[in-house]
A and B are shown apart, each in its own frame.
Chain A
Amino acid sequence: MEAIEAEGLKRRYAQEFEAVRGVSFSVREGEIFALLGTNGAGKTSTVEVLEGLARPSAGRVRVLGFDPFTERARVRPRTGVMLQEGGFPSELTVTETARMWAGCADAPRPVPEVLETVGLAHRADVRVLQLSGGERRRLDLALALIGRPEVLFLDEPTTGMDPEGRRETAALVRTLRAEGTTVLLTTHYLDEAEQLADRLAIMHAGEIVASGTPEQVVAAQPSRIRFRLPAGLRPERLPLSVPAAVHGRTVSVRTHTLQEALTELLLWARAEGVELEGLHARTASLEEAFLEIAGAEVLR
């Protein structure tokens, strides 16, 4: 069964700016789904609609089969939400904050237990004001977990965390999946998405531009060969069957058949008797795929 469904989801803000322009995807029960994209790609705008904080301007969303906005009473007891930032009164302690939140849930996990789970037990009596950025993210995660959610929304859960925190959070998310929790997360960290996500979607300018398993998304991307054009050689002399882009003296080749292209290039170089300086060949990674798709405009 699908735990989360979005169909033609659009979200327009007051100033006519359309942040989300018709997004469709679904997350199966017990799956970890990652939404990637540069800042302003529309990830948070999308997630907020799924969390039931806002109505979509157009399209349809369902969480556990219900409309998260109009049927909030049915959805809320079964979802946990970690917002992108803040949302704590700074003068409450960690325990007081968690207790307040637990009081709002039907069947909350015990507060000490959940603080232990996210590694905040030793900071239980510290005021939120004094927490580090990473510790606040942990508190945020604790609150999202208190209600024993079936569906968990994590908006940039590890931003501001140190590497240890990121590792622990990733491990925790895996444990939750093993227990059957469905997780929708957004992240800036591509390695995190690659390791954690069963499936992912890359958003750019309010639309999904690629989706699938991490392997599928990567496989759809060309591999890359790069080298410097040998001195005195004009770009027209390069083997024509290999489509290449030349910037200054740097030649880059994008290909779905890396081995073939590379062979051809190397044979050509030997025939021409030239040295390909800085030769570099690699299959696509999620990071490259991401830059290729989402960062294309940023890089140029």
Chain B
Amino acid sequence: MSAVAEERGASMRRMRALGRAEMTLLARSRAALFVALALPVALTVSLQRMVPTDRVEDAGLSVGTAVLPGSVGLVLLFAVYTNLMGVYVARREELVLKRLRTGQAREPEILGAAALPAAAVGLAQAVVLMAGGAVALDVGAPERPDLLVAGLVLGVALMAVLAAVTAMVTRTTELAQLTGMPLMLVSLVGSGMFIPLEIAPDQVAAVCRALPLTPVMDLLRGGWTGRLGVAETLRALVTALSWIALGVFAVRRWFRWEPRR
């Protein structure tokens, strides 16, 4: 086996060990499980009634294609973003991150492995919600599954990176409720989760398109409706990847591995 392959194997093994421990911790945390599993479903059900049916239909969408991507957005925000940010803050404050850094695991492995359970739960729940929602709201099969997958994968990656970024400015797990609010609110209102951007004024829509979760929502919705042009698809991909790159840069540069003294 080459040295590179060997190192990759070792890296996988470390990620697996760390991810497994983190999964055990998630399974033992009722609060985290509730936020990750119950909140998105409950919110989807209640928000679905608030969707302005006539205006949505003016924009060429059905209630189903308006709501389903939004509910995946909720999964991303709660099951992945909020949950994982709490994990990063808690592990840092417990000095777990500091300890892990004394071992062989590399920094990206430590943060990446901690994100595995949140990502897995998020993906599984998104799939279940979409399947269940598609049946309940009478939406057909997605027109462009490739866009759907791209939206999901980028969405999870983006949320994980932004969770680490937010954890940098969050000193305690209690404060995580507060520091997570900006992204949460901005996304709910401006990323077209439940209110399609098509019905917003042009200038507002232009600003909203630059928000981190907007490209993910565009890809998800495009996946269902099949109505996302090449240019729009590219724009969404570039925007999402840019946010991820920006986040990774910030984390590499400024992530705090130890509590402030």
Contact = CB atoms under 8 A, between A and B. Distances in A.
Given A100-B18, A103-B13, A104-B18, A92 B95 contact: no
B99 interface: yes
Given A96-B24, A100-B21, A104-B17, A147 B104 contact: yes
Nearest to B7: A73
A90 interface: yes
B47 interface: no
Contact of B104 (A85, A87, A106): A106
Contacts of B24: 91-92, 96
Nearest to A84: B95
A103 B98 contact: no
Interface string B4-33: 000000100110111011001100110000
A89 B94 contact: yes
A87 B13 contact: no
A87 B95 contact: yes
Pick the most buried of B10, B20, B25, B103: most chain A CB atoms within 10 A of its CB.
Answer: B103
B91 interface: yes
Contacts of A87: 94-96, 98-100
B100 to A, nearest CB: 7
B252 interface: no
Interface stretch (A75-83, A206-214, A289-297): A75-83
A103 B101 CA distance: 14
A103 B103 CA distance: 11
Bin the interface of chain B by size: 20 to 34
Contact of A86 (B16, B94, B101): B94
A99 B18 CA distance: 9
Contacts of B205: none
A86 B102 contact: no
A83 B102 contact: yes
A51 interface: yes
Where chain A touches its partner, the secondary structure class is loop
Bin the interface of chain A by size: 20 to 34
Given A89-B21, A92-B25, A100-B17, A81 B94 contact: no
Nearest to B27: A91
Contacts, number: 79
Given A104-B14, A104-B17, A89 B101 contact: no
A89 B96 contact: yes
Given A89-B91, A90-B94, A100 B10 contact: no
B100 A89 contact: no
Where chain B touches its partner, the secondary structure class is helix
B98 A96 contact: no
Contacts of A51: 102
Interface string B26-47: 0011000000000000000000
A285 to B, nearest CB: 34
Given A90-B94, A103-B14, A81 B102 contact: yes
A60 to B, nearest CB: 20
A147 B98 contact: no
A286 interface: no
Contacts of B96: 87-89
A100 B20 contact: yes
Given A83-B95, A86-B95, A103-B13, A53 B21 contact: no
A52 B94 CA distance: 20
Nearest to B16: A103
8 contacts: A86-B94, A87-B98, A89-B94, A91-B24, A91-B25, A92-B25, A101-B103, A105-B103
Given A91-B24, A96-B21, A101-B103, 11 more contacts: A76-B104, A77-B104, A83-B95, A83-B99, A87-B94, A87-B99, A89-B91, A91-B25, A92-B21, A100-B20, A104-B18
